[in-house]
């Protein structure tokens, strides 16, 4: 189990938010933490600790007045850690190559592929051909409804008709090199992880997969290590002391492989 750091950007600031609270209207979100540091600070920190494979997530849509400021923060992080960080949030066939050229190791895609409530496999293939499978991460952001996990898009606001399963991962793995899976129902709440979702990830044997959502303490890390069969990487957001939480950054690094 590896630690994957994060840089979440909203309204031009590095933040930790409650995932399910994000709204495009008014660029609103319930905030857990707003950093005084810029993206470059975190990029430099992660490079110092050789924490490659972390993700930068741009949380405003392209239509937002803050989108350009978000991109500037993302680029500042990439300049400090070229080839070490992934970028997601509004990734399409029009901008994917730009972020790779600016130093992103991978681009992370959700809404472009899961569009109009369904999987647009032709779009996934197009992106995979455009930047290379080795530079593409597919983000499964999951919310539970009627006893099943559904993929949600557009900054976690819209349900698709696509149910998330281990078989879904196996179906899509040939087009990307990694998966990022958000437990949106627990994201940013600091009330514990989505154990059932982690167990699904632990049963999967293909591409590297990273879980994000709800981690509050080291007991949760132990739970992910056990239920994920030590195959699931992890990102810690609001609970990390870098973002105002109780979990010490250095200790988290020592805990993870």
Residue at 64 is within a domain: yes
- What's the confidence (pLDDT) of residue 184? 87
Q: What CATH code is carried by the domain that includes residue 167?
A: 3.20.20.70
- What's the confidence (pLDDT) of residue 146? 92
- What's the confidence (pLDDT) of residue 31? 72
Residue at 44 is within a domain: yes
Enumerate the H helices of the chain as residue ranges: 39-48, 67-80, 96-101, 121-131, 166-172, 195-202, 218-227, 249-255
- Positions of the chain with pLDDT lower than 70, given as ranges: 18-30, 155, 188-189
pTM, rounded to two decimals: 0.92
What range does the domain containing 189 cover? Answer: 6-255
Residue at 84 is within a domain: yes
Distances (CA, A) of 172 to 18, 55, 111: 28, 20, 15
Domain count, the chain: 1
Residue at 1 is within a domain: no
């Amino acid at each position: 189990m590896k630690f994957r750091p994060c840089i979440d950007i909203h309204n031009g600031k590095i933040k930790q938010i409650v995932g399910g609270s994000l709204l495009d209207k008014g660029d609103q979100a319930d905030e857990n933490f707003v950093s005084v540091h810029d993206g470059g600070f975190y990029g430099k920190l992660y490079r110092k600790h050789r924490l490659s494979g972390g993700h930068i997530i741009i949380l405003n849509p392209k239509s937002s007045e803050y989108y350009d400021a978000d991109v500037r923060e993302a680029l500042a992080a990439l300049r400090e850690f070229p080839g070490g960080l992934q970028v997601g949030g509004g990734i399409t066939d029009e901008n994917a190559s730009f972020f790779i050229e600016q130093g992103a190791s991978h681009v992370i895609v959700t809404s472009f592929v899961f569009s109009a409530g369904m999987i647009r496999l032709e779009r996934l293939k197009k992106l995979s051909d455009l930047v290379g499978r080795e530079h593409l991460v597919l983000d499964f952001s999951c919310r539970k409804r009627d006893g099943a996990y559904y993929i949600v898009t557009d900054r976690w606001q819209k349900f698709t008709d696509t149910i998330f399963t281990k078989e879904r991962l196996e179906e899509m793995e040939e087009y990307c090199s990694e998966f990022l899976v958000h437990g949106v129902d627990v994201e940013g709440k600091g009330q514990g992880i989505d154990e059932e979702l982690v167990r699904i990830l632990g049963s999967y044997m293909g591409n590297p997969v990273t879980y994000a959502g709800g981690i509050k303490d080291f007991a949760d890390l132990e739970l992910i290590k056990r239920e994920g069969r030590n195959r699931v990487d992890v990102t810690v957001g609001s609970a990390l002391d870098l973002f105002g939480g109780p979990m010490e950054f250095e200790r988290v690094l020592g805990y993870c492989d």
